[in-house]
Amino acid sequence: MITIIGIDCATQPQKTGLALGTWDGTVVSLHTITLGQKNQPLAQTITSWLPENEPALLAIDAPLGWPADLGDQLATHQAGDPLSMPPNTLFRRATDRRIWQRTGKLPLDVGADRIARTAHAALSLLVELRQITQQPIPLAWQPSLSSPLSAIEVYPAGTLKVLFDPMRVPSYKGRDGGNGRAVILHHLKQHVTLPPDAPLLLKNDDALDAALCVLAGADFLHGLAEPPTNLKQAQKEGWIWVRTQREQANE
């Protein structure tokens, strides 16, 4: 049994979705879904969910790295000098381009967008968790986890694109997304065992994204997610783990 904690990261705790799930090698089960609280650090909530003497995986919806080319360019750049690479090369990671190619859904440019602040928050959360647990929490690169507590980067929007017909993913964000959340939740029940009472999944898109993070984590553990072709680059920039094809999603 492997515990999977889905984290839909945000710069504010109350906008961060958290979901506790397990994967027994076959069945993905959700047990707790909640949002972060102002008066309780996220790291404390997550730590309280970690099992003793069993492996756990953090499935994090936030970029965990920056484009390698951007870092190389800025290391010696002086104000006013030109940049020799096009913006799509500088501001997008290899994994962002690959997700776009596979699903038609383009992640936000961590090198140029406000998503960089969410990435910073996610990395800070990992630091806090390492301090509390006294564990290194490495990024996992293969389903056979080599550490008691590991982390991966996931992307709920990409997972949805694979689960659904790419042209039919319903809008589910914000106050007007209730119908979309209901459709997604109905579909999610085909892949995940839900707790008896999970109204937050219908009310809040951050909570629903956290649940999708758990599913993406199980896909990774099941070997259904596409690995990077250039591991060295992925270890520098990060890699988004998303199911390889819809047929596998429907097994």
- 220-238 pLDDT, tens per residue? 999 999 999 999 999 999 9
Taken as a whole, the chain contains a residue count of 251
User: What is the average pLDDT score of the chain?
Assistant: 93
- Rounded average pLDDT over 69-78: 92
Full-model pTM: 0.95
Mean pLDDT value of segment 134-148: 95
Per-residue b/e over 158-168, b at no fewer than 16 CB within 10 Å?
A: bbbbbbbeeee
> Do residues 248 and 163 make contact, with C-beta atoms less than 8 angstroms apart?
no
pLDDT > 70 in the chain, percent: 96
- Mean pLDDT along residues 15-36: 96
- Nearest CA to 181 among 210, 220, 224? 210
Judge whether 22 and 211 are in contact, CB under 8 Å: no
Cβ neighbours of residue 79 closer than 8 Å, sequence gap 6 or more: none
pLDDT tens digits, residue range 177-227?
Answer: 999 999 999 989 999 999 877 899 999 999 999 999 999 999 999 999 999
CB atoms within 10 A of CB 184: 25
246 falls in which pLDDT band (50, 70, 90)?
low
Mean pLDDT of 162-174: 83
Q: Pick 229 or 170 by higher pLDDT.
A: 229
